[in-house]
Amino acid sequence: MRDVAVIGTGMIDFGELWAKSMRTMWAEASLAALADSGVDGVDLITVGCMSSGLFVGQEHLASLLSDELGMAGIAAGRVESACASGGLALRAGFAEVASGLSETVLVTGVEKMTDVDGADATYALGTAADQEWEGFHGITFPGLYAMLAQVHMQRFGTTSEQLAEVAVKNHANGLLNPHAQYHLKVSVEDVLASTMVADPLHLLDCSPVTDGAAALVITSVERARELAGDRPVVKITGSGMATDTITLANRADLSELAAVRLAAERAYAMAGKSPEDIHLAEVHDCFTIAEIMATEAIGLFDPGFGASAVEKGLTALQGKIPVNPSGGLKSKGHPVGATGVAQVAEIVTQLRGEAGQRQVEGAKVGLAQNMGGSGGSSIVHILEVA
């Protein structure tokens, strides 16, 4: 298997982008990544996108988007694993370069979510749950994560204040990220005073609906060294994927995210690393409880200690193990198909030492954890300065 490196990153400013279409956003992010990489062509394009069919009435993104970039003819394909579609796009590109089938791949993610009304967006997102056993009976994602939060609270004594601390931290980090959807400081009091969406999750415990796109260029480590110049070469050393039952009702234990644990175990095994080796992580904080459970599942903290860790500042930008220095889904925004790609873009930016005010000092090993549905799928990548 060939070693694979990330040589370019690009993302647009996330937000409610009513003046930009899906294809425009995607092309802007892709051109930024290509410019950053220094290559003038690629062999393959992968696109992570959850539900362009429901959000904008458009499938067949491989053809549509390659064409938009003036690259009709190129090999291209789309992947989907709900909100983990971006991570899957990287995995697909990684397998192509690792096998030698492709030399250089443009890995992208995109979601245009604000061209429909709120009810339709909620319906589209709900298709990440088991519609026949969950969605059609009325539950939506805040409700599913609220149930996970309730179990975590009962089992471990996690509090609403601790959940709020995740939002406080991630919004503080987001203030330092020019691409973030929200540049606003929030306090624990703000979170607790915001509208209750699904008990115990308040509005400020939830990530937003976002338009956005992100992109990476990956190639063999050998080629990356030739192109790197003075910049560090960032290698993908671990890639792990896993699923869990899609319905919460069928899970053995609702206090853990088993798909995340399994995906992380597989990524660690491949990289020859353990949680202690990780310098920073981007995790899938679609809700505040999700970040706490994710940090436990990837082994940064023991089960039940994720909440106190954030309260103690261990996951802050200057903490022991910074989590979501980008601002996370909470502040940066969550264009679902783009999220997994944007997470890796942040890790690469950090490992290159190019993160500016939000730079994690001495970062040499980073982890990105992307998740679909209520934890029905997860993809974890480990990246290192080669």
Helix 61-68 and helix 22-37, axial crossing angle in degrees, nearest 10: 60
Two structure tokens written together for 285: 């904080």
Beta carbon nearer to its own copies, 127 or 140: 127
Residue 129 contacts its own copies per CB under 8 A: yes
Given a contact cutoff of 8 angstroms between Cβ atoms, the answer to whether 144 and 137 are in contact is no
Beta carbon nearer to its own copies, 123 or 305: 123
Among 33, 42, 88, 153, binds its own copies (CB under 8 A): 88
Q: Which stretch binds its own copies (CB under 8 A): 5-13, 109-117, 243-251, 304-312?
A: 243-251
Taking the complex as a whole, how short is the minimal distance between the CB of residue 218 and its own copies, in angstroms?
13
What is the spatial distance between Cα 61 and Cα 44, in angstroms, rounded to a whole number? 13
334 flagged as catalytic = yes
Binding track over 11-50 against its own copies, x by CB under 8 A: ----------x----------------------x-----x
How many CB atoms are closer than 10 A to CB 221?
18
Phi and psi angles of residue 215, each rounded to the nearest 5 degrees, phi first: -150, 155
Residue 249 contacts its own copies per CB under 8 A: no
Residue 80 contacts its own copies per CB under 8 A: yes
Among 13, 155, 192, 266, binds its own copies (CB under 8 A): 266
Number of residues that bind its own copies (CB under 8 A): 70
286 flagged as catalytic = no
Among 96, 111, 211, 291, binds its own copies (CB under 8 A): 96
Evaluate the CA torsion angle 246, 252, 255, 259 in order and state its sign: negative
Given a contact cutoff of 8 angstroms between Cβ atoms, the answer to whether 108 and 47 are in contact is yes
What is the spatial distance between Cα 34 and Cα 160, in angstroms, rounded to a whole number? 43
Residue 148 contacts its own copies per CB under 8 A: no
> Buried b / exposed e across 240-279, counting CB within 10 Å, b at 16+?
bbbbbbbbbeebeebbbbbbbbbbbbbbbebbebeeeebb
User: Could you give the angle at the alpha carbon of 140 between the alpha carbons of 172 and 258, nearest 5°?
Assistant: 70
Residue 344 contacts its own copies per CB under 8 A: no
Residues with a known catalytic role: 83, 334
Residues that bind its own copies (CB under 8 A): 1-2, 21, 44, 50-51, 53-54, 56-64, 66-67, 71-82, 88, 91-92, 94-96, 98-101, 123-124, 127-132, 135-136, 239-247, 250, 258-259, 262-263, 266, 372-373, 376-377
